[in-house]
Amino acid sequence: MQDIEIAQLKKLTELIQGRFDYDFSNYAMSSFKRRVQRLLEIYKYPSIEVLIQKLSEKDERFFQEFLSEITVNVTEMFRDPGFWKVLKDSILPNILLNERPIKIWHAGCSSGEEVFSMAIVLQEMKALDRVQIVASDIDTAIINKAKEGKYPIKNMELNQKNYERYEGSHTLSTYYKEEGNKAVFDKNLVRNVQWIVHNLVDGTAFDTFDLILCRNVMIYFNQQLQNQVLKLFHESLHKYSYLAVGSKESLIWCEIANKFIIVNNEEKVYKKVKD
């Protein structure tokens, strides 16, 4: 298979923006190129030109498949258990001191494991009914999958280990039933979750939150887009509310860094201190 050139990627992103109104131009180019290369291998396309031709036909169903491959959907429950401990022991208790209804946004929620993890934490803190959760992703298909709360049983061993390291109150199997080769989570956990399709690239503020989680999403964006997204998060937070990013991500370098303080550097939790 021929190597993909930058000019070809530019042609691809321009086509996608023109036909489907999705802007990939500020994705980290090396990561975007890797995902496109993988997609060509999956579909056995000999070159990126074949992919460009296919997308130019404006086939909405194919575009949704393309979107699911290009946006990375690899996650697990209670990923980075230390982060969830910090959340349970200090961040959420502080947030729950507020009199108002509490709102949490999972931005780039992927297949929903993080949302179910949050719901379990809140349930064990007896705070689930005090919290409204918004879970968003760019990919309609992955949002529909997340709503189902069905995950391969083979993934539960890792998820259970994470839950134990987080020091949960029960066992993870308390929250799901086995159906065939799937773990089907209790829908009651997500009774206060609003699942929405939302594009961080050109999204605007739509509500004000007490905590935003956007973990391991921005590593796929270039610096310009990271700045743009972090401004959106700043605008979407109440003053003295929290933002959690991934372990390899940081706010230190960004244009609005002075509007946040570091709450926990190891687990990458920040607090908004300036409007």
List the domain boundaries for the chain: 6-70, 81-272
pLDDT tens readout for residues 216-252: 888 888 889 999 999 999 999 999 999 999 988 989 8
Residue 201 pLDDT exceeds 70: yes
Tell me: pLDDT of 175 over 90.
Answer: yes
Helix (H, G, I), strand (E, B) or coil at 85: helix
**Confidence band of 64 (pLDDT split at 50, 70, 90):** confident
58/271: higher pLDDT: 271
Residue 92's φ and ψ, nearest 5 degrees, are: -65, -40
Mean pLDDT of 128-152: 95
Query: What are 72-121's pLDDT values in tens digits?
Result: 666 899 999 999 999 999 999 999 999 889 999 999 999 999 999 999 99
Least confident of 42-51, 65-74, 111-120, 175-184: 65-74
Query: Is the whole-model pTM more than 0.85?
Result: yes
Helices (H), the chain: 6-20, 29-43, 48-56, 60-70, 81-86, 92-95, 113-124, 140-148, 156-166, 223-235
Beta strands across the sheet bearing 150-152: 150-152, 182-185, 176-179
Please tell me the predicted confidence (pLDDT) of residue 252. Answer: 84
10 Å CB burial of residue 252 (0-12, 13-18, 19+) is: exposed
CA dist., res. 244 & res. 67, Å (int): 25
Question: Quick check: 133 pLDDT over 80?
Answer: yes
CA distance 25 to 32: 9
Looking at residue 149, what is its pLDDT? 97
Nearest to 69 by CA among 45, 41, 44, 36: 36
Residue position matching structure tokens 């705070």:
127
Residue 263: its pLDDT value, please? 97
CATH superfamily of this structure's domain 81-272: Vaccinia Virus protein VP39 (3.40.50.150)
Average pLDDT of the residues of the chain: 93
